[in-house]
């Protein structure tokens, strides 16, 4: 009798588990970084959050680097090779011009009071402003994703951009002829203005390019030194130029057919997980800046700050470039309301600079992003 009761209990448990097993749906998520890096760890946490917030109805399988490269990501998600992925819009200037134009205003952080934006708070603020702007104020941005059979479900931002180089770059004279790998047209315009030349390439090519002398420096967030294994090739870091952040990334851009096949609650789960995903990348990147500098010093890399002349030249460039950017995108990409967009974004950025002042954890930042932005997205209308 006892054995029969046990058998019946096991059978009942097995039967109860069947609907859950069949109900759970696994989605693939791709990014262009190796295992063990911050982006991969953030993606794994995103997967855990999706499963938790969906009550186990959704699971995420993360593919680091192997499924799609950065340059393949947009088309791969469009065509369903991955259900979602981190789209770095700078790789696709003709596909995401509105998104890129706003992202390329990030050097305006150099014009804010350093007491408000230093220690990483500028990155946290820019990320929040970028998310709010795209979700609530940029139908053109969302249409860009829709044109690629994608739905925007979250953003990501880097820590402040610095120069990672194979030589010292601190003076205006050092800029003359400097070959700089850039991840955005604004940084390209900056180095040209100061006398150097820009080179565009994917992150997968970067370490070898520095090692072989194809470029002298990369403008990158400091944690990329570790993420991309550059400690053996970089000899000098200048921490405070060019400044700005990279926030033109849809962290979990989702295939539109997949999104539309989800229930409203499942879409909301993706958005909530996306809010914390959006928080993890800039906050943890900022935390790792200090750790990266320690690793750099241990590796014998020299740490510098730019001269006052270079900082002043950079601020003067930013003020001109914010105006020039409007004309550039109107002529090159047909953007008709660039001035209105950048003015609106500036108001959001000023608001977010103050919102993030007391943030002291990834969880607190995720809560802020969720409460201020992501929870307000209408899942019955967004992406459908």
Contact 261, 156 (CB under 8 A): no
The CA distances from residue 224 to 196, 207, 228, in Å, are 22, 10, 5
DSSP state of 58: E
Contact 257, 343 (CB under 8 A): no
- φ, ψ of residue 324 to 5 degrees: the values are -65, -30
Query: What token pair was written down for 344?
Result: 């609106």
Provide the strand spans (E) within the chain. 25-31, 58-64, 84-88, 150-151, 155-156, 161-165, 179-182, 197-200, 217-221, 236-238, 249-255, 302-304
- Provide CATH code, domain 22-376: 3.40.190.170
Domain extent listing, the chain? 22-376
Residue with tokens 């053996």: 232
Please give the Cα distance from 203 to 206 (Å, whole number): 5
Q: How many helices (H) and strands (E) does the chain have?
A: 16, 12
Query: What token pair was written down for 348?
Result: 């959001």
Contact 171, 272 (CB under 8 A): no
CA dihedral 258, 259, 264, 266 (to 10 degrees): 70
pTM: 0.85
CB-based contacts of 250, cutoff 8 Å, min separation 6:
86, 87, 89, 145, 150, 152, 153, 154, 155, 156
Nearest to 107 by CA among 123, 131, 88, 90: 123
Please give the Cα distance from 29 to 25 (Å, whole number): 13
CA 102 to chain centre: 13
DSSP state of 345: H
- φ, ψ of residue 4 to 5 degrees: the values are -65, -40
Q: What is the pLDDT of residue 19?
A: 41
| Segments of the chain scoring below 50 in pLDDT | 1-22
Q: What is the pLDDT of residue 5?
A: 37
Query: What token pair was written down for 204?
Result: 């997968």
């Amino acid at each position: 009798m006892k054995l029969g009761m046990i058998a019946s209990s096991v059978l009942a448990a097995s039967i109860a588990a069947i609907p859950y097993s069949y109900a759970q749906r696994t989605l693939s998520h791709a990014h262009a970084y190796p295992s063990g890096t911050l982006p991969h760890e953030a993606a794994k946490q995103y997967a855990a959050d999706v499963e938790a917030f969906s009550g186990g109805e959704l699971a995420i399988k993360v593919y680091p680097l192997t499924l799609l490269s950065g340059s393949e990501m947009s088309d791969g998600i469009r065509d369903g090779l991955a259900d979602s992925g981190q789209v770095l819009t700078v790789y696709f200037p003709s596909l995401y011009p509105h998104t890129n134009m706003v992202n390329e205003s990030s050097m305006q952080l150099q014009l804010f009071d350093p007491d408000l934006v230093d220690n990483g708070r500028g990155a946290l603020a820019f990320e929040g402003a970028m998310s709010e702007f795209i979700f609530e104020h940029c139908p053109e941005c969302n249409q860009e994703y829709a044109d690629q059979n994608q739905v925007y479900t979250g953003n990501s931002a880097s820590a402040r951009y610095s120069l990672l180089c194979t030589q010292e770059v601190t003076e205006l004279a050092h800029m003359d002829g400097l070959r700089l790998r850039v991840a955005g047209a604004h940084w390209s315009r900056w180095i040209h203005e100061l006398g150097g030349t820009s080179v565009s390439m994917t992150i997968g090519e970067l370490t070898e390019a520095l090692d072989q002398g194809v470029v002298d420096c990369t403008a990158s967030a400091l944690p990329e030194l570790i993420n991309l294994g550059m400690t053996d090739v970089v000899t000098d870091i200048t921490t405070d130029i060019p400044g700005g952040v990279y926030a033109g990334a849809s962290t979990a851009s989702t295939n539109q057919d997949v999104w539309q096949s989800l229930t409203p609650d499942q879409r909301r789960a993706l958005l909530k997980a996306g809010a914390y995903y959006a928080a993890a990348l800039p906050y943890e990147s900022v935390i790792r800046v200090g750790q990266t500098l320690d690793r750099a010093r241990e590796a014998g890399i020299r740490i510098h700050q730019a001269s006052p002349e270079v900082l002043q030249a950079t601020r003067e460039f930013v003020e001109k470039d914010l105006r020039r950017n409007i004309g550039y995108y109107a002529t090159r990409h047909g953007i008709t309301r660039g001035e209105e967009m950048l003015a609106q974004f500036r108001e959001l950025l000023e608001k977010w600079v103050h919102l993030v002042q007391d943030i002291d954890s990834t969880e607190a930042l995720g809560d802020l992003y969720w409460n201020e932005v992501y929870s307000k997205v209408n899942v019955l209308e967004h992406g459908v």
